[in-house]
Amino acid sequence: MRFRAKALSDNGEKAILVGGSSHANLIQIIEELKSLKYQKLYDSTRAIFKC
């Protein structure tokens, strides 16, 4: 039981380090949100100048 708890603890610590899976997922969602923001800006600008 203690070995399993230690293994889970170690894996959790690795996940939150820079480059870990949680960090990578957070960076990915930030990039997706930025992309959506820029796409909305592009679409609204295009709609304004579409004549």
Q: CA-CA distances (angstroms) from residue 17 to 20, 25, 27?
A: 5, 12, 12
User: pLDDT tens digits for 1-51?
Assistant: 888 998 999 888 887 777 888 888 999 999 999 999 989 988 888 888 875
- The reported pLDDT for the residue numbered 23 is 85
Q: Which residue ranges make up each domain of the chain?
A: 2-49
Question: How far is Cα 36 from Cα 25, in angstroms, rounded to an integer?
Answer: 17
- The reported pLDDT for the residue numbered 51 is 58
- The reported pLDDT for the residue numbered 18 is 79
pTM: 0.57
- The reported pLDDT for the residue numbered 50 is 75
- The reported pLDDT for the residue numbered 22 is 84
